[in-house]
Amino acid sequence: MKGVLFTILKALPLFTNGGSIILNASTAASTGMEGLIVYSATKAAVRSFARSFTSELKSRNIRINALSPGPIETPGLMNAVNSLGMTEDQFKKTIVSAIPMGRMGSPNEVANVVLFLASDDSSFVTGIELFVDGGMAQI
């Protein structure tokens, strides 16, 4: 949480007029998952940063949004699953059952949303939390 805050504060002088800051939050901030108390709380703080900085930076035309991915199939996630003593197949079966779209997301799907938020296509979008989670945190 401190790292996110200090990074924003150090980056702000680089923004002369306008721009887009995208913060990495998580669905864990909205769902209250067992064993993730501190992680969930820090991601909720990141979401709050997006809201508060939106108000603070409006006069500088800097847009700030939070992106909250759900389960994204990456080597890092799979390594974490293995360290919990669970097989990848067990994890996927369990987690996919909670995702309305019936599958985990891909890194490219997250990247496409980041590109949208960074581009002028989202010029009237600020202060939001955008979920890339297959509907997991929505239903």
Query: So which residues are the catalytic ones?
Result: 39
Which residue from 131, 130, 125 is spatially nearest to 20, judged by alpha carbons? 125
What is the torsion angle, in degrees rounded to the nearest 10, for the CA atoms of residue 25, residue 27, residue 33 and residue 36? -20
118 vs 23, 40, 48, 114, 121, CA distance in Å? 11, 25, 19, 6, 8
| Alpha-carbon gap, residue 65 to 57, rounded angstroms | 12
